[in-house]
Structure 1
Amino acid sequence: MSRKWFGTDGVRGRVGDSVIHPEWVLKLGWAAGHVLTAGVTGRPRVVIGKDTRLSGYLLESALESGLASAGVDVLLVGPLPTPAIAYLTRTLRADAGIVISASHNPYQDNGIKFFSGDGYKLPDAQEEAIEAWMDRPMLVSDSEQLGKARRVEDAAGRYVEFCKTTFPANLDLRGLHLVVDCAHGANYKVGPMVFRELGAQLTLLGVEPNGININAGVGSTCPESLQEQVRSTQADLGIAFDGDGDRLILVDGQGALLDGDELIWLLARDMQQQGILSGVVGTVMSNLALEQGLADLGVPFVRSAVGDRYVLEAMQQHAFPLGGESSGHIITPANTTGDAILAALRVLAIMRKSGKSLKALREGYQPYPQVLIGVRLADARRLLDHPTAQERVAAAEQELADKGRLLVRPSGTEPLLRVMVEAVSADLAARVAEKLAKELSDLAPG
């Protein structure tokens, strides 16, 4: 069954459009309230969190009203990272969790993503059930059955303490200078609190959200300022989050970037040395160097579709404790979704245990040059069915031959066609990717 609104990570779009519109989101809350709390004994409860976008207030109110009309009580936790909502949904014994965020997208966009009561992203079947309820007439519960809302005042503190418990009790961060970039997003409070309370000296970027500056020139998708700050302050490393706090990018003491693939390799090597690693899940976008590096360590590796919920499904299927994406979504045993703070703490723990710098730890990993281009299209899937588009893709694959690999796929979160080329040289990867992206863009209807 094809889904009308749900992508790889909930529902996302431009605020004010037909979907991310208060009237539509009101009904989404009502529909989700019925689906996610079906069979619940007693008063059902749902946690709602959000990032720092100005539109979050609007959508939070609409969701709250929709859930209340379905007889669901609402627990409001305010601006917190996506993984915090997964954690709080479990520990507060709620029946579901909802995050209002468009992750790394600009402030004009927003989205709604859901967690089940056990803190996992929803399976396709439940998302399809919510969409089916959206086609029903919206009937409000009887007055005595309507839901109510309350704020969880200590939500941020609960999550901060949880994060700190994942760091070895016999270690601390005293003596380390960290530059932390919170993207003016959901981690702007809790991120610095965690690292500071563990003893680190901090230089902060992206911690002054105003509702419209989220991800604007800062964060994991724009690491240039972080790199410069690490170099100029001679910090030990830099940490960058995205707008909703589930992606992590690191910068070593010389200002060089480490993406999600390299971080997974670092974590995998440490876990294997501890004898606690049965295998790793990456995605079709994961760099070939990760696969080869894990093979050298004797660690099994499988690829999933793009999206951390698909990574998690594969982790559960194969009983692997570690997985993630090149973009920086990294899932460790401590949480049920990508958690940037927890992943950063794991890397910092490796540094403290080994006494090595991040630059020294990364020695031995050499990624293949990879170019990723997004072609903005209204209907990327339909274009890929076009015979000429298929011919262009086949020609690009032939040009790469045994010197690289090509992946062309529609984005699950934006109206984009993503063209990824990985090759033995940066020049070859750039030439093939740019040529194919232009050809596909030219084929798209004007």
Structure 2
Amino acid sequence: MTNATRYDWAHAAPSDALMRSTWITWAVIASLVATACLTLIAGLLLSRRARRKPFNLYLAFLTVPDALFSGMCAMTCSMSAAAGRYYSSAMCEWQSWYVMFGFTANMWMNLVVARHLHDMLRTLQAGRRYDPPTCCRVCVEATVVYTYASVLSSLTLLPEKMPWSPPIREDAIGGVACVPVEYSLVSTLFFWLIFVPLMIGIPIVYIGWVCHDVHKYGMLPSSGRSRFLALYFLRLVFVFVGMWLPVVILIFGVAMNNYWLSFMGGTWSHLQGFVSVGVSLTKPDVKRAVLSFVMCRSCNEDDGMRRLRSNDATTVQIDHSMARRSSGGESLRIACMISDTLQGSQVQEDRQDDDGKRQFKERYQDREHDAQEGSAHQLSEGRQQLEERFQDHETDMQDPIGTFEGSFQDEVIGVQDSMNNVDVDLAQSPEQPPY
């Protein structure tokens, strides 16, 4: 194939064993990347605190195309590896669609984030207050971007005989992965002058201009949360652009003449998802939300545990105070029971909203009040019994002679009664004869 054109090289495939090894490698890498992306998305969306922040929603929408791209590629490569050949022509059309959707949606979502960052920095530099976009606006913008990416990715699905059908078709580059490819001079001009700019060209140019403008006018704050947020998302933008641009060059530019460049481009496109997830986790609230999801904890449990530890000293003081006021072991047991209930229920209450936390506080106060009333009631009863006993002893001590005379008279009366009974018995008995 020394006289083969670049269009012919696009259809050339290596041995079946090499293609199968490629599919298995891509399936493993894509599965891991898809799992990481889905974990990040789930952690952000399930965290009430994290999803309230608009820029965290942007981060979730930035990760969705990566998750779709890697997840679908893992499925496609697994099916092809099991079959020992590329699975089907229908699968080729589907793979071309989701690959282009991932490329396009990623780049245009980065454009949207870069625009909001530029607006924020310019507003703060002017000394005005910046109002971040609402969550509703974030969802609308993401929907528009996804719709645009879907339409652009569907151009290869239009029938060739359609009047306005673009000169571009999907094909398996190197026999392993289907993407839109050019097949003639007209197709090449359309691909590089129209299709590629609409896919990634416009976003790259705009993001480059934003970075230049921020650097030229010194918009980046010297400190504060705005600086951290700007640097955080600028790093993400650099990761997306710095990793997607080589992918486009390797796959669509030079890989048509070299199988291994095509393999490197496909592998690099998936590794981009890993790097993006790693950079995303450098934001503290994002990391906390993802760890909470992975460890099957509530989204706010980490904050709740910190509040619980800070309140432990107060709880112990309350328990000891109640124990000192108690008159017996029962009140101490009640105090310990309330303490255990507080410590066992604190984490559960932290999983609820602010209303639930207030209800827990009121319930704890009611239990403490009941325990105090029970202790006070026991003290009152004990004090009353002690006072009655003390009064009885005090009365006896005040009149000891009267108490003794009363007891002596009772004894005398008892003896007299006994003597009277003896006299009566003697009077009733018969007389004895004299001896």
TM interval, short-chain normalised: under 0.3
- What TM-score do you get using the length of structure 2 for normalisation? 0.20
> Going by fraction, where is strand more abundant, 1 or 2?
1
> Going by fraction, where is helix more abundant, 1 or 2?
2
- What TM-score do you get using the length of structure 1 for normalisation? 0.20
Bigger Rg over Cα: 2
